[in-house]
Structure formats: structure tokens, C-alpha cells
Amino acid sequence: MNQHPHRVVKRYRRPEDQPMPTLRRRSVNLAKAAGRAAGAIIRGLPVIVSDEEAARRLSICRACEWWRPEAYGGAGGCGHESCGCTALKRHLSTERCPVGRWAIDTRAGVNG
């Protein structure tokens, strides 16, 4: 473990050993995603991806080492600290995988 002046940060060897992000962290991530989606709506850009793209993203997520099938009452979710999402995120064109497995839909016009 690494010591910081105000907290202890655990280092996990494998993603599957890391706990799901905290409710606070997931709330921050959700608020940021909502802001990006709202910005796309204001600019008149698409926010929802096609059913085919959403299915493609979900299959990628389910094969990822960060995917936790037991999360959220069995609905599954991403255990990465920068994500922590349910499968809902895969429907938003303004969102991307935190480990680069799938990207923002370029039609959404979102930077980075």
C-alpha cells in the first residue's frame, strides 16, 4: 500500500480484485456523463447510439476484465474507477470506455 498524507491507497494486482467504485465516485461519473449528453442535445447532436452499436459495446464490456456481472443486483457493471457504470452508458454516443475498448460516437461531437 502507498501512504498519502490523508489516506491509504490500495494497489490491486488484478482488476477483478478491485472493488466497485464508491457511490460518490459513480455519482460524479454520472453527473459528468449527463453534462456531456446535455451538451450534445443543446448542440442538436445525436445522444443515443443504434441498437447494434449498443449491443456491440455490451459484448465488449462483458468480455472485459473490469466487468462485474454480479454488480447492481446482477445487471452487471464496470468496475473501473473512471466508469463504474451500468450497461446504460453503452447507449450514449457521448461516452467512451475508460480503458479504450470502444470510443465516443464521432457524430456526437464530443472532445476527449
- pLDDT, tens digit (0-9, with 9 covering 90-100), for 29-71: 889 999 999 999 999 999 999 999 999 999 999 999 989 888 8
Whether the Cβ atoms of residue 56 and residue 102 lie closer than 8 Å to each other? yes
The pTM (predicted TM-score) of the whole model is: 0.74
Cα-Cα end-to-end distance for the chain: 31
What pLDDT shows up at residue 20? 84
Alpha-carbon torsion (27, 32, 37, 41), positive or negative: positive
Residue whose cell numbers read 447494434: 52
What pLDDT shows up at residue 56? 93
- pLDDT, tens digit (0-9, with 9 covering 90-100), for 69-95: 888 888 888 888 888 887 778 899 999
What pLDDT shows up at residue 108? 55
pLDDT confidence bin for 1, thresholds 50/70/90: very low
Q: Where are the domains of the chain?
A: 47-112
* Cα–Cα distance for residue pair 24/22, rounded to 1 Å: 5
SS3 84: coil
pLDDT confidence bin for 11, thresholds 50/70/90: low
What pLDDT shows up at residue 111? 47
* Cα–Cα distance for residue pair 102/98, rounded to 1 Å: 9
* Cα–Cα distance for residue pair 73/14, rounded to 1 Å: 23
Four-CA torsion 67, 60, 30, 82, nearest 10 degrees: 60
Whether the Cβ atoms of residue 26 and residue 71 lie closer than 8 Å to each other? no
